[in-house]
Each structure stands twice: as C-alpha cells, then as structure tokens.
Amino acid sequence: MALNKKTIDDINVKGRRVLVRCDFNVPLKDGAITDETRIVAALPTIKKIMNDGGRVILCSHLGKVKNGPNEGESLAPVAKSLSEKLGKEVVFVSDYHVTGEAAAKAVEAMKDGDVILLQNTRFRGAEETKNGEEFSRELADLADDYVCDAFGSSHRAHASVAGVTKFITKKGGSNAVGYLMQKEIEFLGNAVENPVRPFVAILGGAKVADKLNVISNLLEKCDTLIIGGGMAYTFLKAQGKEIGNSLVDDSELDSCKEMMEKAEKLGKKLLLPVDTTVVSAFPNPIDAPVDVEYVSTDAIPADKEGVDIGPETCKIYSEAVKNAKTVVWNGPMGVFENPTLAAGTIAVARALAETDATTIIGGGDSAAAVNQLGFGDKMTHISTGGGASLEFLEGKALPGVVAADDK
C-alpha cells in the first residue's frame, strides 16, 4: 500500500527545530522501565534528524493520567533511557505545563543535532485528549516542522498527534511521518490490501464487540479467518451450542450469525474452536494454579467456564497457518496471563514462528504474548500499536496519518 504522505526522507531539517511525536507509553515498575521496545522503535527517526543537523524536540504521553500531573507518570525515566541509547544527553523539560517557559528556554538553547524531551503531553488533560487549539498552537510554536512517529497513538485525534499539524502548516513548515509509522503502514497495509495468498487472519481477545468491524473487513480480504479467545464463545452460542459459564455477549449473537453467513456467502473459511479448556472458577489472582479439563465445544458442562482453546483446536489452527503465505494475528487465544491457560496462545505463536509466511502481530496483548513467550524475533513484524492496528485492520483512516502532508 503506497503511503502517499511526506516522510522524514522528504524534508530538509538542517538547522530546523523538529517536533517529533513518539509513543513512549512504556510500562514502569517502581520508576524503572520494564519494556523498552517503544523507545528502541523510535531511535531510527531520532538519529536521522540528529545526523541531518536538525534540532529534535520529542513529545509523548505516558499512562492515562487520570488524577492530574504526577511524578509517577513523568517521562523522566524515558529521557534517561534515551540519553543512554543515543550516547548523548537528552535534555528533559520536567515542567508539568509541557510547553511553558522552561520548554521555550530549552529550545532556545539548542544547537544542531541536540535532543530535548518535553513532559507527558497528557499532563495538559483535556487540552491534549480533546485536540485543544491552544495546546496545539503552543506545541507548534516550539518548532518549524513536525514528524509523527507514534503509530500506537495515531488512531487518536489528540493535540500532539493531529491538532499541531494545522499550526505547523500555517507557519510554512512540513508535517511528515517517521520511519516507524512508515514501516507499520507498509506492513499492515500490504497485508490487508495486497497480501500474498493464502492469507490467514487470526483474531482473539475477550470482547467480540471490539472485533466485529475487523472481522467484517477481514472476511472480504482473507482466505481463512480463525477465531479464538473469549469472543469465540459468543460465536459458539450463536451456532446454538451450550457454553456453560463462559464469557458471552448476548447483544452480539445476531452480529455473529451475520458474520458466519457472510463467510459462507464469500466462500471463506471461518474456523471456530472444536474443543475448549474449561475450569470450575476463573483463577484469582489471574496467574494462580488452576485445574483444567478439555471438552468438545458440543459438550461444555453447564457449571464450567471456557478459558482457552483445546488441544484439538490448537492442532487445527496450527495446520491452517502452516500453508499460509501471509498471517495477521490480533488477540490471544485464552487467558494467556495464566501459565496453564496460555497453551492455545503458545501453540499459535509457535505455529507462526515455524511458518514461512509473512507474519504480522497486531500489537497489544498478542505482541506481549509473543515477546513473553520468546517468539518475538521469529515474526516478520510486531506492531507497536494495539488499538491503532485494530482500527487500521477495520479499514479506518488514522488521524495521525491523515494529518501528515500529502507528497
């Protein structure tokens, strides 16, 4: 899929101030970063601007910031990590106002090739999340050009993702996408719009409502659609099966029936679990030891709850992946946070690791699962954005992409 947008290779940044929106929404434990994937993913774009003599002003959100600005959601640990990885001090502007006097002074003092990091954009609350004009203008005032490299946030029309571009344009600057955005859109776009066939899509996760539009869109594009995770039980119930105490969304039964009919009409294979792993009660805490049984999906006991695909289904799903040329996977097959209930997710991850197909993991829980299980380096592409990759697979336009200048 051709990305007809200006990329970082199309703009001349020498001596110019470039505001780069990254996705540094990294997991923290006791103030330390536990997974630096997103920081590493941003480095190529940052280095490119540094090497070309631009002045890099980085911004990002971190966390949901529900209770106002606080040190626990400050980007300070990110500045430290970036300084180590770039071998150069990244000046951190710790001011909670993000774009205040401290930021202006730091930008003023920059030389070509310097890097600064602004404080968490969500410290500005609704001004950021509701795409506020004032905050958008303040961000643009700091810079000459803007680069969006935050695929994980590109589905949100926030001030630092979308609003800022209007004001950069007004002052004659360029709005481009970075290398990570480019890579994400090319991989996901080609997989969906121009796949090498057979194309197999695997969808899991708990909520069927979140995935219906994706299912509908992918049925038109793929050859085989595999369904697992908690949402599979709503499909099984829609087929008239008893599902015991398993997760179900009764309001979506008709939609599931429609999807099964659509698959049949289009001549696509829609695979549902033939057996399931059941427990008497959901584990509490989620990773507590648990006793399981494997039963056919035609015979789920009334007092049991399905929590993972069963061994027979693992075999069928793995077989379907074996002959594929393109595979897109979004969402785990079961409660993968529990070692006993991760078997289905592990089986699918292993099948993807062993296939010759182009394998694309759609961010979020599936990316976490693949990385935790040690299969990360066997995948062609692991998306950095769960929600963004889902909306992309739905066929929606992403605000962060739309806002970039056309070539």
Q: How far apart are CA 214 and CA 251, in angstroms?
A: 18
Q: How many CA atoms lie within 13 A of 255 on its CB side?
A: 17
Measure CA of the first residue to CA of the last residue in the chain; give whole Å: 15
List the catalytic residue out of 48, 387, 395, 396: 387
CA within 13 Å, CB half, 213? 9
Do the beta carbons of residue 146 and residue 177 sit within 8 Å? no
**Under 8 Å between Cβ of 348 and 273:** no
Pairwise CA distance, residues 225 & 325, whole Å: 14
Per the annotation, the verdict on 207 as an active-site residue is: yes
Give the active site residue among 364, 385, 386, 400.
Answer: 364
Active-site residue, from 38, 122, 211, 237 = 38
β-partners of residue 328 are 201, 360
Which of 47, 137, 166, 207 is catalytic? The answer is 207
Quote the tokens at residue 93.
């502007």
The three-point CA angle 191-193-199 to 5° equals 50
Among 60, 46, 157, CA closest to 402:
157
Q: Please tell me the number of Cα atoms within 13 Å of 128 on its side-chain side.
A: 25
Residue 143 in tokens: 């810079």
E strand map for 289-357: 293-296, 305-309, 326-330
Phi, psi (5° rounding) for residue 2? -70, 130
* Pair type for strands 145-148 and 17-21: parallel
Residue 9, classified by CB atoms within 10 Å of its CB into exposed (0-12), middle (13-18) or buried (19+), is exposed
CB 139 within 8 A of CB 131: no
As given in the structure block, the two tokens for residue 357 are 């197909």
Instruction: Please tell me what DSSP assigns to residue 5.
Output: B
Active site residue 387: yes
User: Strand 224-227 vs strand 269-271: parallel, antiparallel, or unpaired?
Assistant: parallel
Longest dimension (CA), the chain: 70
Tokens 């427990």 locate to 279
For residue 63, which of 4, 119, 134, 147 has the smallest C-alpha distance? 119
Q: Is 325 a catalytic residue?
A: no
Question: Catalytic site residues?
Answer: 38, 207, 364, 387
